Chain A
Amino acid sequence: MSLLKIKNLKTYFHTRGGTNRAVDDISFSIDKGEIVGVVGESGSGKSVTCHTVLGLLPQPPAKVEGGTVTFDGKELLDLSQPLLRAIRGKRISMIFQDPMSCLNPYLRILDQITEPILIHENVSRETAEARAIEMMKKVGIRDAEARAHSYPHQFSGGMRQRVMIAMALVTKPDLLLADEPTTALDVTVQSRILKILRDLKDDLGVAVLFVTHDLGVVAELADRVVVMYRGKIVEQGNTQDLFKNPSHPYVKGLLACRPTLETQYKILPTVEDFLQTKIEEDGSYTLSDHPNAEDRLAKLTSEVKSEKGEKSTLTSLLHVSALKVHFHSGGGFLGSPHKIVKAVDGIDLQITRGRTLGLVGESGCGKTTLGRAILRLQETKSGSILYDKNELTKLSQAEMLPFRKHMQIIFQDPYASLNPRQTIEQALTEPMLVHKIGINQSERRDRIVSLLEEVGLGAEFLLRYPHEFSGGQRQRISVARALAVEPEFIVCDECVSAMDVSVQAQVLNLLRQLQQRRNLTYLFISHDLSVVKFMSDDMIVMKNGKVMENGNADTIYKNPQSEYTRELLDAIPSSSLLG
């Protein structure tokens, strides 16, 4: 008998805007000691499924419209709150995405891990503490006895996620619900956490329901995979089989549109190349294979990324040398000493006109600061930035104005990078006004319309506000705004990191096409090595404000010289199964 059995589950959200069928008639089960990965893009209903199991959804607006969730023979959806509480944290535990906000900052780690034991079991505090420390050791927290008395802020993100896992497993639950537990973590940390989860599964025999958007993680961890799309399960099965021979067009598309280290696409395939969505008049839809999928894929595979000519024959556009950016933190009020954070500590780099320099590193390595410093959005300490033979570091903000026209930036979060109170037309007109592009309103309007078309949006969007668009559309608008001043150099700061893979593929393709059409030069900053590999001609690996490795992108991937680069490449989950 399976441990958790979900049958015909329907969870709908009833809001003023109508009914959202977040989870629409899904069935799957988990056996004892099994890891099941639930994969899907944002809005596919994967997290809602996870929360429905433990009754954690706010009701209303959420409402379970039908179906059953059977756990160990008991029907969970019918249980009263007290009975449900006895199961939560004892027999079914949960870990969440953000380890920063899931720990109480005012309680010591030991107290937090001990708490679930004391609530659910009738044991003495000493026994509970002993078990907590034992569990901390199991999740790989070294020096557990001493560290148990620290507070959450004294732990790094990865360590905090280990604490969360220890907290969830300390009551020896039968089932662990993990909702995107590694999404907020760096790849190297993620690979360690995944290893811990795998070991603990063998050690404690706990079943895991692992919700994620990352196919790589699932391929590495799960025994079985459930793929969700728009609230429905489109395919489920054994991990090996599903990844090797996907049958549903959506899954095929999803697998193909991830840039990987092995593939050499010039333009990435997108989910739309595989999937044909036919929407009926009553709002229901049918999904089917795209008739031309095979041809399209064959064409894309044949168009291999080509070298853009010898580096030496091309002119250098940006030359950064010995650049340093230091931050002062702490200090002041009670005379505590100043701490200097060397975010960027002596970086040299060169970008050739028309090429893309990829900048890779884990969070906190200074890559974003470097990008901002090059655009003079961040004060530098020393060093020089030569843009087209002009020294930028000595210029005042007013003197920077003519360069702003040439150098632009696209940010990670398209939600935050557009002013919520400006319509798209206003947002795109303003840069032209400031830089005196276009003679009158009607000419500027024509330019905006052609810009929107260039990024794949239509003129009908002009009078809308940013929140009316999806994440991918908003990023296209940010791209259009950057292009409004006709720049030649663009810093892309993690500009696809917050996106689903299918949307990511579209935006990456757009950036590629724009580069070819307008001969743009990119500084492409990302933590994702596969994405950087797809985009870049040259690349730099950064750690702690310093360059670890520097050179031609393909060469570095094939033959990494530094220890750190090798570590990063090894940490990418399961490239073998996805290759």
Chain B
Amino acid sequence: MAKNKFAMGGLWVIVVMFSLCFICAWFCTDPNQVNLSNKFAPSSVEHWFGTDALGRDLFARILYGGQVSILVGLIATSVSVAIGIVYGAVSGFAGGRTDAIMMRIVDTLLAIPFLVLVIVLQATLSDWSGDATRWIVGNFNWDKEFTDRLTNVVPLFFALGLLGWLTLSRIVRAQVMSIKEREFVEAAVALGYSKGRILFRHIIPNVLGPTVVYSTLTVPGFIMYEAILSFLGLGVESPNSSWGVLIKEGANFLETEVQLLLLPGIFFSLTLFSLNFLGDGLRDALDVKAAKD
């Protein structure tokens, strides 16, 4: 992968983005510090990107928002990839009646609008967030405010991830069905390998390439869903921010204060581009044939 300039560039942008959002953010000013006397301030030494309609530091809000957005993308994707690969692989490998039943379940879930499902699941999970906060604070003595922020967004990650695997499982299933017809799988049967071994050691590694590419493409999708949910008041709750929330807020002042939309937008799209390039690079890197060229 070292030879692929775009992928390496993408990787570096993501590394920088990560360190900005997760390390530098601790040294920033408080993103929720309201100062109405200093709203829409231009960029200055104190406020690098200026301030928003409530006089909050935009730079700090972008970094803190980035934490939520990046985590939504990564955690929801990991959850959905894990479920999608196993579900799709089992379905495709088993074939016959098992496959038919498993796929009808997917069809049913796909038939219900995604957002409706997410909202229901998110609401269910959120019911426990208060208990979770108390439990964590009680047992581990974590900072209350920090734990609150955490329990506010974590249900969202899982709600998206628990429902985002549907398409992925179909992709994996199709791949598995074509690979299980290959002769090396038949050779494995002839050598007396067990079904689990064939599935996990011989088939799944061969479907990882397309899966990785597809899943890097779903990261932006999840970030978008988070923004939509936040807009509906079901995602990230004020005063916490996320890139989606910032873009939405910025859109209100499009005519006068364009930087409020533009700056979070640049961070957002830069991350998405980099993820796509990285996905392409990963696909080549995971392909043993291309890797040796």
> Taking beta carbons and an 8 Å cutoff, which residues of A are in contact with B?
16-17, 372, 375, 377, 400-401, 404-405, 407-409, 411-413, 416-422, 430-431, 434-435, 465, 467-468, 478, 481, 485
Neighbouring A residues of B183 by C-beta, 8 Å: 411-413, 416-417
CB distance from A427 to the nearest CB of B (A): 9
Asked if A434 meets B289 with Cβ closer than 8 Å, knowing A377-B186, A409-B187, the reply is no
- Residue of B186, B187, B191, B293 near A434 (CB, 8 A) is B191
Report how far A537 CA is from B186 CA in the complex, Å. 28
B292:A481 contact, CB within 8 angstroms? no
CA distance A419 to B184 in the complex (A): 6
Which residue of A has the minimal Cβ distance to B190? Answer: A409
Q: CB-CB < 8 A to A468: which residues of B?
A: 292
In the bound complex, do residue B189 and residue A420 qualify as a contact, i.e. CB atoms below 8 Å apart?
no
Shortest beta-carbon distance, B3 to chain A, in Å? 9
Contact assessment for A377 and B189 in the assembled complex, using a CB-CB cutoff below 8 Å: yes
Is B187 within 8 A of A404, CB to CB?
Answer: no
CA distance A364 to B183 in the complex (A): 18
Closest partner residue, chain B, to A485 (CB atom)? B191
Residue of A nearest to B186 (CB): A377
Q: B192 and A420: CB pair below 8 A?
A: no
A404 in complex: contacting residue of B184, B191, B202, CB < 8 Å:
B191
Nearest A residue (CB) for B201: A430
* A465–B289 CA distance with the chains assembled, in angstroms: 8
Chain B binding site: helix, strand, loop or mixed by DSSP?
helix
Q: With a CB–CB cut-off of 8 A, which chain B residues contact A420? A: 184, 206, 288-289
- The yes or no answer to B96 lying at the interface (CB within 8 A) is no
Q: A377-B190, A430-B193, A465-B289 are in contact. List 7 more A-B contacts (CB 8 A).
A: A377-B189, A401-B192, A405-B192, A417-B187, A420-B289, A431-B192, A431-B193
The reply to whether B182 and A431 contact each other, CB–CB distance below 8 Å, is: no
Q: How far is the CA of A420 from the CA of B192 in the complex (A)?
A: 19
* A408 cross-chain contacts in B, Cβ below 8 A: 190-191
Chain B residues in 8 Å Cβ range of A16: 293
Q: Find chain A residues with CB under 8 A from B184 CB.
A: 416-420
Interfacial chain A residues near B182, Cβ < 8 Å:
416-417
Assembled-state Cα–Cα distance A435/B186 (Å): 17
Asked if B192 contacts A404 (CB within 8 A), the reply is yes
Would you call B197 an interface residue if the criterion is a C-beta within 8 Å of the partner chain's C-beta atoms?
yes
Q: Is the CB of A421 within 8 A of B191?
A: no
Contact assessment for B292 and A419 in the assembled complex, using a CB-CB cutoff below 8 Å: no
Q: Is B205 positioned at the interface, with any CB of A under 8 Å from its CB?
A: yes
The interface residues of chain A lying within 8 Å CB-to-CB of B186 are: 372, 377, 409, 411, 417
A351–B191 CA distance with the chains assembled, in angstroms:
21
Contacts of B191 in A (CB 8 A): 404, 408, 430-431, 434, 481, 485
Which residues from B are CB-within-8-Å of A401? 192
In the complex, residue of chain A having the shortest beta-carbon distance to the beta carbon of B3: A16
Q: Could you list 23 A-B pairs, sorted by A, with CB under 8 Å? A: A372-B186, A377-B186, A401-B192, A404-B191, A408-B190, A409-B187, A416-B184, A417-B183, A418-B184, A418-B187, A420-B184, A420-B206, A421-B288, A430-B193, A430-B201, A431-B192, A431-B193, A434-B192, A434-B194, A465-B288, A467-B292, A478-B187, A481-B187
For the complex, give the distance between the alpha carbons of A478 and B190 in Å.
12
Docked complex Cα distance between A16 and B293 (Å): 8
Interface centre among B182, B184, B194 (most CB of A within 10 A): B184
Closest to A407 in B: B190
The one of A400, A409, A419 in contact with B202, judged by C-beta atoms closer than 8 angstroms, is A419
- Asked whether A467 lies within 8 Å of B289 as measured between CB atoms, the reply is yes
List of A residues within 8 angstroms of B206 by Cβ:
419-421
Residue of A nearest to B289 (CB): A467
Min CB distance B97 to A, Å, is: 14
Chain A residue nearest in CB terms to B197:
A434
B187 and chain A: residue at smallest CB distance: A417
A569 to B189, CA, bound (A): 36
Q: Kindly provide the distance from the CB of A462 to the nearest chain B CB, expressed in whole angstroms.
A: 15
Cβ–Cβ < 8 Å partners of A404 in chain B: 190-192
C-alpha gap A416/B202 in the complex (Å): 12
Interface 1/0 per residue, B193-234 and A, CB below 8 Å: 110010001100110000000000000000000000000000
A415 to chain B, nearest CB (A): 9
On whether the beta carbons of A465 and B190 are closer than 8 Å, the reply is no
Residues of B within 8 Å of A419, CB to CB, are: 184, 188, 202, 205-206
* Nearest opposing residue in chain B for A401, CB measure: B192
Q: Cβ of A435 and Cβ of B192 under 8 Å apart?
A: yes
Which partner residue on chain A sits nearest B181 by CB separation? A416
Complex Cα distance, B187 from A485, in Å, reads 13
Question: Which A-B residue pairs are the 5 nearest by beta carbons?
Answer: A404-B192, A417-B183, A416-B183, A411-B183, A421-B205
Min Cβ gap B189→A in Å is 6
Shortest distance from the beta carbon of A560 to any chain B beta carbon, whole Å? 32
**Chain A nearest CB, measured from B197 CB (Å):** 7
Q: How far is the CA of A430 from the CA of B293 in the complex (A)?
A: 27
Q: Contact at B293–A17, with CB atoms within 8 Å?
A: yes
A411 touches B192 (CB 8 A): no
Q: Using CB atoms, name the residue of chain A closest to B204.
A: A421
What's the Cα separation between A468 and B290 when bound, in Å?
11
Residues of A within 8 A of B289 (CB): 420, 465, 467
> Which residue, A411, A412, A419, A430, has most C-beta atoms of chain B within 10 A?
A419
Q: How far, in whole Å, are A377 and B187 apart by their CA atoms in the complex?
A: 9
CB distance from B17 to the nearest CB of A (A): 31
Give min CB distance, B120 to chain A, whole Å: 35
**B205 neighbours in A (Cβ, 8 Å):** 419, 421
Residues 250-264 of B, flagged 1 when their CB comes within 8 A of A and 0 if not, give: 000000000000000
Instruction: Report the bound CA distance from A257 to B191 in whole Å.
Output: 32
Residues of chain B within 8 A (CB-CB) of A422 are 202
How far does the alpha carbon of A110 sit from the alpha carbon of B278 in the complex, in Å? 49
Which residues on B sit within 8 Å (CB–CB) of A407?
A: 190
Which B residues are CB-close (under 8 A) to A417? 182-184, 186-187
Closest to B209 in A: A421
Q: In the docked arrangement, what's the CA distance between A33 and B32, Å? A: 89
Which of chain B's residues 160-200 have a Cβ closer than 8 Å to chain A?
Answer: 182-184, 186-194, 197
